[in-house]
Amino acid sequence: MTDLTLQGVRKEFDGVVAVKNIDLHIPDGAFVTVVGPSGCGKSTTLRLIAGLEQATDGMIQMGTQDVTGVEPKDRDVAMVFQNYALYPHMTARRNITFGMKAAGDFSDEEIERQVAEAAAVLDIDDLLDRKPGELSGGERQRVALGRALVRDPEVFLMDEPLSNLDAKLRIKMRAELAKLHSEFGTTTIYVTHDQTEALTLGDRVVVMNDGRIQQVDSPQRLYDFPKTRFVAEFIGDPAMNMLPVDIARNGTDYEAVGPTFRITLPEGDGLEAAAGGQAILGIRPESLSVADSADRSSFTAEVTVTEPLGDSLLLECRTGDQEFKLHAEPRTAVKPGDQVALTVDAERLHLFDSQTGNAIYHAAAAQSLEETDTVDSTI
Amino acid sequence: MSTREVFTDRLQAGVLLLPTMVVSLLFLYYPTVRAVGLSFYRASLARGDVFVGLENYRRLASSPEYLRSLLVSVLFAACVVVGVMAVALCVSFLIHEIDVGKGVYLVAVIWPYALPPAVAGLVFLFIAHPNIGIFTSYIETLGVDVNWFSNGPQAFVVVLIAAVWKQVGYNVIFMTAALGNVPESLTETAELDGVSRTQRLLRVYVPIISPTLVFLVIMNTIYGFFGTFAMIDLMTKGGPAGATNILIYDLYRTAFQFYEFGFASAKSVVLFVAVGLLMYGQFRLSDRYAYYGG
Amino acid sequence: MLGSLLTALTAAVERSQAAGRTTSERLRQLETEQLTLHVLAATVVFLIVLPVLIAALVSTKRAGIVTSIADLAPGGHALSNYRRALIGLEFWRYMLNSFVMSIAVVVGKLIVSLLAALVIVYYRFPYKNAVFLFILFTLLLPVPVRFVPLYRLTTELGMGNTFFAITVPYLASATTVFILRQHFLSIPASLVETAKVDGVGPLRFLWSVLVPMSRAVLVGVSVIMFVYTWNQYLWPLVIINAESLQVAQVGLSLLRGQASTGEVAWSMVMTGSILTLLPPLALLVLFRRQLLETFTIQQK
């Protein structure tokens, strides 16, 4: 086990920059998930850590050792792939031992013991003499995990390991992965495009976009205090509503003023600087609700689409020329075309800079933005 | 994003490539370059090499025999390509349309791929022999005087049939594979539209498998130029009177009967350029006409 | 003859289409159609097999003069003919030489091409595309366009009339490298990445992963290479003088010469032909599945 540091890491492929200047520190024993849309550079980052790609610039450190130019096998990492990467002509057992034997620093008894141990943990004892073709997707992924486990590496690298499984199995394996990590405590870096996986598995989540790290934070803070408009929209489903507004000062209060609404913003950092200008108001769908009667911070909108989800009713609404979504109580009696009065959970409002997309204000009583994650990452 | 190129040791790469590179350089590229060089010499085993400049090429250009050989070659290759592909297309289509027993028919039809050209030549020499051939008497009752040892056009046709016979199997291999890849839905659509079988083959299948057909045209052209050497050597020795004297046979005689290596090298160069141009032309044509899906 | 197939086929179909439209009639019509197709296919097979069938029959006869179909009854001299060809006329020696040449070329080419394909797919180095093109371009340099200077080169190297001359020049193969490359590209990249992370070296990866995963293709290309080498005629003809080193194809040409001067019977020539045909034919029949699979890769 060891901690891992990336400093100014950059990767170009034939002039295309896939990873732009990444700084990241992963503490010993952490489970870090890296999430982002496809092409954001998350897989490349993982492969840079594995040593499958060589960084164009920057430094990668494991513990105190600079591993930037070190061969993958000497980095003591193990990798698990989306398509399992099992050798189809070998039995599960041989798949597990093949790499160990190639590494050559294990005795036969040691290998035997490690395999038995890993098989017991992963519950694949009975499958060891089968070939991958005779195993289900979930079983294959267990074997692939077993192969990584027996190596007893400093760091586990996982590249979308659950993406090829069906939804049910994915949730089950997710729980097992979390259990495995709490048992072994090995530093794990887990790349996924699935935000649910990222939030549920990671004790730290790295959000990437366009080759850059957008934010590194705990799952809840990521959700509550997105640093950029990108993070706000990427995390959460349906995505956070984004409404262009003017920030106006009304006596001692500040208000977000849209063409058809006027919402009072609770006192907080950043408002004074924003006053008199334009910004993007971010409201999560669950922070809006249908009001019984009009009150001070509500506004009206027209319902365009209703989607009953069972535990809630998703409404698509329009006010003026702006569209947004909200989670209403299930069984609320509205239909498309209805006018509804809406209330806003004032503690859950966000403002983003119209130009840069950076967050300028979170309504929830928060520490100032700079304090969120100065230890682990600088953007 | 992922890559197979994980090994980066250049020295290792060089060592592993070495056998292929050395053999290619020494036995493929070097002789070709040397043929060009040698074509400017009068070279024979007995006397030394004498530089003669373009003399060999001048001789070629003004040799009616050589021009005839060129003509015979092109005609022969064209007949081989057309003959082989027409027959192979019919046979492949036939097998494609059969419901049960496809595999058996396929093997029974493609085996001549393994047939040595020398064997093909000898067997045809024997069964079509003007004096002792098994079919000779039957054909002569039709009023044809079988005497292809002295009749040029007849010799051309006999060698051509042998050449086609040997090559059909190879073509059927690729054509049945290509026909097998035509989506079933297209066949069904055509059938629902009441398109006849022949129309289905010509209007639906042929355009779809055209990349395969282009590939085969190229392979058959090369076969027509080079692959039939053994047959000609065993059946006609280029005769009678040059009727089957294709370029490769002419080249062989220049080098190994008359030992004019310089002149032969000039012929090699012409052959190389001719085949290169031909293949280039066919590639260009295929770019324009073949349907590559997408 | 075969050209009229299509006409016959269409006629058959049209005739059956003219038949009624009810289900049972339709079924019967389909059956008749398939029957017609089978008859046609059987005819095609017969025509393609016929020349070799005649050769096989003649190889069982004493003199082998068959001038009419009535002469085609099998003779009782099969055993003595084949014994005479193999032992008396020393055809065993040509066959053996052909075997040694073909097996050496197949094994050599396989090793050399596997290494080249390994580098081309799994190594990163500058000018890789140029190297690949360099190998592919040799497709334009078949034996016939270079056998004259190759002859001079080989004799200058003192290798004329040797086993070296009929094997080593064949060892570089664009086709084999290309087929192996295509096949390797169809194997998921994550396998080599896993191997790399685990510290599995390139040769071990080749031997323990690529080769076992490529069995069918390796068998397929081996058959292709064997057939190609076994059927070589021109190059052994010019470079080998000693009869003791000669291959079966050229041995046939010697037989043909003896037949036309009356030294041996034509049945002996057909015996030699059948002998020469058998090894590649046997391989094709045995490994047809792998062969067909490999051909589909080649064409891509």
How far away is chain A from the Cα of C136, in angstroms, using its nearest Cα? 25
Average pLDDT, chain B: 88
The residue of chain A with its CA nearest to that of C204 is A102
Interface test with B, best of A16, A46, A47 (most B CBs within 10 A): A47
Chain B: partners with 3+ C-beta pairs within 8 Å: A, C
Contact between A83 and C188 (Cβ < 8 Å): yes
Sign of the Cα torsion A298, A303, A307, A310 reads positive
Cα–Cα distances in Å, from A150 out to A118, A122, C198? Answer: 6, 11, 11
Interface test with C, best of A13, A46, A73, A91 (most C CBs within 10 A): A73
Highest mean pLDDT among A330-339, B239-248, C97-106: C97-106
Residue B157 sits at the chain C interface (C-beta within 8 Å): no
- Longest CA–CA separation in chain C, Å: 79
Among candidates C57, C34, C124, B1, which has minimal Cα distance to A82? B1
Residue B293 is predicted with a pLDDT of 46
Tell me if A21 sits within 8 A of A73, measured CB to CB: no
Q: Which of B58-67, B101-110, B181-190 is least confident?
A: B181-190
Q: What is the pLDDT of residue A272?
A: 83
Gap between the Cα atoms of A244 and A267, Å rounded = 20
Pairwise CB contact (< 8 Å): B17 & C269: no
pLDDT at site C57: 87
Chosen from B1, B2, B3, B6 to mutate, greatest number of chain C CBs within 10 A: B6
Gap from C130 CA to chain B (nearest CA, Å)? 12
CB contacts under 8 A, B 175-234 vs C, are 177, 196-198, 201, 212, 215, 222, 225-226, 229-230, 233-234
Q: Which fold has domain A4-230?
A: Rossmann fold (3.40.50)
In a domain, B11, yes or no: no
Out of A132-146, C68-82, C193-207, pick the least confident. Answer: C68-82
The Cα of B38 is separated from the nearest Cα of chain C by a number of Å equal to 8
Domain membership flag for residue B14: no
Among C197, C204, C208, the residue with its CB nearest the CB of A78 is C197
Q: How far apart are CA A150 and CA A346, in angstroms?
A: 51
Nearest residue on chain C to A53, judged by CA atoms? Answer: C193
pLDDT for A294:
61
Task: Give the pair of three-digit tokens for residue B89.
Answer: 């297309």
Overall size of chain B counted in residues: 294
Q: Are C183 and C298 in contact (CB under 8 A)?
A: no
Q: How distant is the Cα of C194 from the closest Cα of chain A, in angstroms?
A: 7
Query: What's the confidence (pLDDT) of residue C12?
Result: 53
Strands A204-209 and A31-35: parallel
Higher pLDDT, B197 or B30: B30
Å from A76 to nearest chain C CA? 8
- Of A102-111, B27-36, B65-74, minimum mean pLDDT range: A102-111
Cβ-defined contact of C3 to B133 (cutoff 8 Å): no
pLDDT at B291: 56
Give chain C's mean pLDDT: 86
Is the CB of C145 less than 8 angstroms away from the CB of B19? no
For residue B264, give the CATH number of its domain.
1.10.3720.10
Nearest-angstrom CA–CA distance, B200 and B222: 30
Contact residues, A window 279-308, toward B, CB-based 8 Å cutoff? none
**CB-based burial label for C32 (10 Å; 0-12, 13-18, 19+):** middle
Tens digits of residue pLDDT in C45-58: 999 999 999 888 88
Comparing CB atoms, the residue among A72, A87, A157 nearest residue C191 is A87
User: Which residues in chain B have Cβ-Cβ distances shorter than 8 Å to A52?
Assistant: 3, 6
Which of A51, A72, A85 is the closest to C188 by Cβ?
A85
Q: Which residue of C has its CA nearest to B18?
A: C116
Residue C1 is encoded by which pair of tokens? 């003859």
Instruction: Give CA–CA dist C271/A260, Å, rounded.
Output: 100
Residues recorded for chain A: 379
| Block residue for tokens 């045209």 | B217
- Tell me the mean pLDDT in the region C151-162: 89
Q: What percent of chain B has pLDDT over 70?
A: 95
Our CA-based measurement puts residue B9 at a distance from the nearest CA of chain A, in whole angstroms, of 11
The chain B residue lying nearest C118, using CA atoms, is: B16
> Cis bond leading into C236, ω under 30°?
no
* Range of weakest confidence among A21-35, B62-76, B96-110: B96-110
CB contact under 8 A, B173 and C54: no
Q: Which of C190, C208, C209 sits opposite A81 (nearest CB)?
A: C190
Three-state secondary-structure class, residue A188: strand
**Is A47's Cβ below 8 Å from some Cβ in B?**
yes
Give span(s): CATH 3.40.50.300, chain A: 4-230
Q: Please tell me the distance from the alpha carbon of residue A120 to that of residue B207, in angstroms, as a whole number.
A: 58
Residues of chain A with pLDDT under 50: 366-379
Residues of chain B positioned with their CB less than 8 A from the CB of A18:
1
Select the residue from A16, A45, A52 to test the B interface by mutation, using most B Cβ atoms within 10 A.
A52
Q: Confidence band (pLDDT; 50, 70, 90) for C63?
A: confident
Can you tell me the mean pLDDT for C89-94? 88
Chain A residue numbers touching C191 (CB-CB < 8 A): 85, 87
CA angle C250, C252, C255 (to 5 degrees): 120
Chosen from C148, C193, C260 to mutate, greatest number of chain B CBs within 10 A? C148
Domain A237-363 adopts which CATH fold?
Answer: OB fold (Dihydrolipoamide Acetyltransferase, E2P) (2.40.50)
| A43 contacts on B by Cβ (under 8 Å) | 1-2
How far is Cα C248 from Cα C264, in angstroms, rounded to an integer?
A: 17
* Overall domain count for chain B: 1
Report the distance separating Cα A189 and Cα A25, nearest Å. Answer: 11
Q: How confident is the model at residue B2 (pLDDT cuts 50, 70, 90)?
A: low
What is the reported pLDDT for A299?
A: 81
- Chain B residues with CB under 8 Å of C36 CB are none
pLDDT at position A300: 85
ipTM of the complex: 0.90
User: Are residues C201 and A78, on separate chains, in Cβ contact within 8 Å?
Assistant: no
Over residues C258-288, the pLDDT tens digits come to 887 877 778 888 899 999 999 999 999 999 9
Nearest CA in chain A to C200: A102
In a domain, B131, yes or no: yes
pLDDT at A369: 44
Q: What is the pLDDT of residue A1?
A: 64
Cis peptide before B19 (omega within 30 of 0): no
CA–CA min distance B6, chain A (Å)? 6
Residue, of C61 and B91, whose pLDDT is higher: B91
The residue in chain A having the minimum alpha-carbon distance to the alpha carbon of residue B4 is A52
B135 in a domain, yes or no?
A: yes
pLDDT at A372: 45
| pLDDT tens track for B176-234 | 999 988 888 888 888 788 788 888 888 888 988 888 898 899 889 989 998 999 999 99
| Structural domain of B236 | 63-289
Give the pLDDT score at A379: 37
Cβ contact, residue pair B215, C45, below 8 Å: no
Q: Look up residue C24 and give its two tokens.
A: 């049972």
Give the separation between CA A286 and CA A345, rounded to whole angstroms: 9
State the smallest CA–CA distance between residue C183 and chain B in angstroms.
13
Helices (H), chain C: 5-18, 23-58, 78-83, 91-122, 128-136, 143-156, 174-185, 189-198, 202-205, 211-213, 215-230, 234-239, 248-260, 266-286, 288-298
Nearest CA-CA partner of B89 in B222, B188, B217: B217
Residues of chain A with CATH 2.40.50.140: 237-363
Report which of residues C11 and A45 the model is more confident about: A45
Q: Which residue of B has its CA nearest to A50?
A: B6
**Set of chain C residues whose Cβ sits within 8 Å of the Cβ of A84:** 190
Q: Kindly report the backbone phi and psi dihedral angles of residue A306, in degrees, each rounded to the nearest multiple of 5, phi listed first.
A: -115, 135
Section C177-198 average pLDDT = 92
Q: Which residues of B touch A53 (CB under 8 A)?
A: 3
Interface of C with A (CB under 8 A): 188, 190-191, 193-201, 204, 208-209, 212-213
Q: Are A144 and A159 in contact (CB under 8 A)?
A: no
Most confident of B97-101, B263-267, C65-69: B263-267
Residue A296 is predicted with a pLDDT of 56
CB pairs under 8 A between A and C: 62
Dist. CA B46–CA B4, nearest whole Å: 55
Helices H, strands E: what count in chain B?
Answer: 15, 2
Q: Chain A, 65-94: which have a CB under 8 Å from a chain B CB? A: none
Residues of C in contact with B90 (CB under 8 A): 2-3, 5-6
